[in-house]
Every structure is written in structure tokens, then in C-alpha cells.
């Protein structure tokens, strides 16, 4: 990657109010102020993407007369984040339970007083240690109950691989992409043979996958913002360089065109954490040829994982904590995995036969449970995520998107990224 003029950005840690967005998202929110006239309390649970909760909520509601669960669901974390930060600053309007994407937990911990301390001695040891640590503040208060984690493998279209003359067997496919250099070289070979299909689904998705292997992508361990480090520049240069080579669809992940690309042979591979399996199966319904390989370029990577929090502004915080604990119990995590592929974050769930023996019919009966468990064991790096990680990530993704859509060249977009980060204050 071309060397750029250094402009170190060193910013002090900010409170979550600095993240508040100017526009109000009306798509979600709304805690019931009081119990209904028959004494039933409704607990609203705000989620995004796919948590696999639909069946669980039906199960709870059919067996509980005093507390009912209502899911408030939006399409993406960006939508949920806008609503969360706006209503958190306003002091009212949030759901009784708010799902938080893992990258935003450092900012949430910085404002722990706005959330209920969910610490419960009966739940100690429920979660993997590194997962529980993400939701625990410096006062040893647990602010969120972890839902899932995101060990990553590679989803691929075996039928398109065959069309390009590439191996289709899972083990052979894994052998093609042990490193990122191998992965991209295979992609260049693929697009020569199948020129109307991109190698991977999204430049932004690829960038996220690569960032998951960087120890300090945006901030040092003391929360100093440092976005001109060599590893981050290398990721940016690699991703934007492959845009020019034609390996990417150039589509923003989660957009309508990206969703449609699953149905029109738009791409051949994508980085797939466990929760993405349900997304792929839903978007590619009716499409034959999908499979899942036990490999991730460069080793292991964890993408995502979420938490359930209970805002202190709610009227029914005790009931909300009870519901959040139930939704994240091992038994429920196993059911959510079966429904949507969200991979459990709890020790007991990971050892269950439902996980270790799980296969996925849509992905050619791939042993998804075994693969994801091995991918989780391959994770050796957890990126440091300070209070500004989520906002800086949004700015980084926007920089890549500008290169994708041709509105800026890589150098100019990088310079704008530096300015955007500096403007965070």
C-alpha cells in the first residue's frame, strides 16, 4: 500500500452521549409504562438482524400468564444504534430489553449508570470468560447478557466452484484459502473463469473479517485513537486494491442489491460467522449449491456476538432481567442456533450434542456445529475495542464504500476517513 503522510489522531475517551445521532429513528423502541388491566406485564425486546428468538418468544408466551414478551425487530444494528443512542440521551422511549452489538459494548460500559447491573451469582460461569469480560465494567458489574459469538468459516457456492474448474469438496476448498494471499489468488483465478460473478459478497464484509484479526485496529490499549497504524493501512490497501481487481460485488452489505445478489449468482464466497448462516439461507432460499468450509484465511476470527441489556429507564426492570436471563440460558441458545445459526456463547451450550452434532441441510448437510466449534478454538486475537470503536468502524466502512461506488479514489477516501475520525472529538 502506498505510504501516506502521517497524521496521528489522539482523542480522549468520550461518553456515549458523543455518539448520539441527530436524527431520531422511529423504527423501534417503546417500553410499556404499566401492566395491562388483567395484571399481565409486557416486556419489549428490541433486536436486529436474526437472533432466532421468534420460536423462543412463542414458547415463553404460551407458558407464562403474568409476563409476555413482545419483540421489536429492525433490519440492522445501524438502525438499532440510532434509536438506542437517541432515546438513551432523551431518557425515555427504549424497549425494556435492548440488544447491543458487541462492538458497541465498550461505549455502553462507559455509561453503565444508564443500565441495570445484571450481575447474578447463580449465573456465574455461564459464559465463556472472554465473552463475559466484554460486558463487565471496571466495578465488576455485568451490564449485558451475551447471546452469541461469531467464529468464522467460509460459505461458498460449490456449483460455481465447479463451473470455474475449482475443487468443491469442503476439505479441498479449505486447502485453497489457508492464507489471505491464497484466498485472493484463488479469487483472481475464479473471476477469469466466471467473469460475471464476483469472488466475495462485499468489500465492507471482507474488511470486517480482516479487522477481526487485528489486535489494535483503531485504538491502543489505553483508549488512545490511532488509525494510522500499519495493520489498519494494510487492511484498507488490500480491500480497496481488490475492488480495482473486480473481486468484490461493490455492494454495501445488508442493502437491497446485496440481498438480491444471493439470488442471481452475484458472488461465490463470503466470510460467515455462525449467525450469518441463517442470513444466507434466508436470502438464498431456493438456490442450490451452498456449502460451508472449515477454514478462515489467516487462522481464526470472531465476527460479532451480541448482548441483551436492560435500560435503567424501563418500568419493569426486574421482569426484564428475568426475561433476558431466560433468553440467554444454554437451552435457549441451543434452540436459537438450530433456528438461525447463532452460535452459543455459553460453556454448557457448546458441549451439548445438539451443537456438536449439528448439520445444516441448506449447506449440503455441512457439520456446522463441529466446524464452528473448531473455528472458535482457532481464534487467537480479539481486537481491542475502546469506547469509540463502533463509530470509527462506521467511518472506516464508509471510506471503503466511497471507493466501491467510485465517488472517491482510495487516497482521497482515506484522507476523508482521517478527518471523520478527528471530527469525533
User: How do the pLDDT tens digits run along the chain, 425 residues long?
Assistant: 333 333 333 333 333 333 333 333 334 445 445 555 678 999 999 999 889 999 999 999 999 999 999 999 998 888 899 899 999 999 999 999 999 999 889 889 999 999 999 999 999 999 988 899 999 999 999 999 999 999 999 999 999 999 999 999 999 999 999 999 999 999 999 999 999 999 999 999 999 999 999 999 999 999 999 999 999 999 999 999 999 999 999 999 999 999 999 999 999 999 999 889 989 999 999 999 999 999 999 999 999 899 999 999 999 999 999 999 999 999 999 999 888 888 999 889 988 999 999 999 999 999 999 999 889 888 888 899 888 988 999 999 999 999 999 999 999 999 999 999 999 98
For 354, the grid coordinates are: 445438539
* C-alpha to C-alpha distance for 218 and 235, rounded to whole angstroms: 12
Q: What is the DSSP secondary structure assignment for residue 225, as one 8-state letter? A: B
Q: What is the pTM of this model?
A: 0.76
Strands annotated E in 75-136: 97-101
For 86, the grid coordinates are: 437517541
326-343 exposure pattern, b = at least 16 Cβ within 10 A, e = fewer: bbbbbebbbbbbbbbbbb
For 301, the grid coordinates are: 476470527
Residues 6+ apart with CB under 8 A from 330: 126, 344, 346, 348, 349, 352
Residues 6+ apart with CB under 8 A from 356: 369, 370, 373
- Cβ–Cβ contacts within 10 Å for residue 73, how many? 18
- From 174, 298, 291, select the one nearest 238 (Cα to Cα): 298
- CA dist 407 to 132, 394, 399, 411, 416, Å? 41, 17, 10, 12, 12
List of domains in the chain: 22-149+304-356 (3.40.190.10), 152-299+383-423 (3.40.190.10)
Residues 6+ apart with CB under 8 A from 188: 199, 245, 247
First to last CA, the chain: 28
Amino acid at each position: 500500500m502506498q505510504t501516506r503522510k502521517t497524521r496521528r489522531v489522539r482523542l480522549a475517551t468520550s461518553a456515549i452521549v458523543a455518539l448520539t445521532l441527530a436524527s431520531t429513528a422511529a423504527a423501534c423502541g417503546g417500553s410499556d409504562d404499566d401492566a395491562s388491566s388483567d395484571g399481565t406485564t409486557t416486556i419489549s425486546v428490541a433486536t436486529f438482524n436474526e437472533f432466532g428468538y421468534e420460536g423462543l418468544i412463542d414458547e415463553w408466551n404460551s407458558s407464562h400468564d403474568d409476563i409476555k414478551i413482545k419483540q421489536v425487530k429492525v433490519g440492522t444494528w445501524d438502525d438499532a444504534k440510532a434509536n438506542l443512542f437517541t432515546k438513551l440521551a432523551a431518557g425515555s422511549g427504549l424497549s425494556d430489553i435492548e440488544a447491543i452489538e458487541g462492538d458497541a459494548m465498550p461505549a455502553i460500559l462507559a455509561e453503565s449508570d444508564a443500565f441495570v447491573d445484571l450481575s447474578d451469582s447463580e449465573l456465574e460461569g455461564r459464559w465463556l470468560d472472554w465473552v463475559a469480560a466484554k460486558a463487565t465494567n471496571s466495578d465488576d458489574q455485568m451490564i449485558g447478557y451475551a447471546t452469541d459469538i461469531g467464529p468464522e468459516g467460509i460459505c461458498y457456492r460449490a456449483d460455481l466452484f465447479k463451473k470455474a474448474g475449482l475443487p468443491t469438496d469442503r476439505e479441498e476448498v479449505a486447502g485453497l484459502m489457508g492464507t489471505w494471499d491464497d484466498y485472493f489468488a484463488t479469487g483472481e483465478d475464479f473471476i477469469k473463469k466466471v467473469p460475471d460473478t464476483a469472488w466475495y459478497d462485499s468489500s465492507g464484509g471482507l474488511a470486517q473479517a480482516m479487522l477481526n484479526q487485528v489486535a489494535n485496529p483503531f485504538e491502543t490499549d489505553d483508549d488512545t485513537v490511532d488509525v494510522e497504524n500499519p495493520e489498519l493501512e494494510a487492511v484498507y490497501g488490500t480491500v480497496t486494491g481488490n475492488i480495482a481487481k473486480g473481486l468484490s460485488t461493490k455492494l454495501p452489505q445488508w442493502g437491497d442489491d446485496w440481498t438480491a445478489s444471493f439470488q442471481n449468482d452475484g458472488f461465490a464466497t463470503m466470510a460467515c460467522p455462525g449467525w450469518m448462516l441463517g442470513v444466507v439461507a434466508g436470502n438464498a432460499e431456493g438456490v442450490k449449491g451452498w456449502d460451508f468450509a472449515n477454514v478462515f484465511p489467516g487462522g481464526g476470527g470472531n465476527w460479532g456476538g451480541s448482548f441483551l441489556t436492560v435500560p435503567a429507564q424501563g418500568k419493569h426492570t426486574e421482569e426484564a432481567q428475568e426475561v433476558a436471563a431466560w433468553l440467554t440460558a444454554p437451552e435457549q441458545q441451543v434452540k436459537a442456533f438450530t433456528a438461525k445459526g447463532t452460535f452459543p456463547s455459553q460453556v454448557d451450550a457448546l458441549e451439548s450434542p445438539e451443537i456438536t452434532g449439528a448439520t445444516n441441510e441448506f449447506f449440503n448437510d455441512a457439520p456446522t456445529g463441529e466446524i464452528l466449534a473448531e473455528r472458535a478454538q482457532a481464534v487467537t486475537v480479539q481486537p481491542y475495542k475502546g469506547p469509540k470503536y463502533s463509530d470509527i468502524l462506521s467511518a472506516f466502512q464508509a471510506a471503503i464504500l466511497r471507493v466501491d461506488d467510485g465517488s472517491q479514489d482510495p487516497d482521497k477516501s482515506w484522507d476523508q476517513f482521517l478527518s471523520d475520525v478527528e471530527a469525533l472529538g
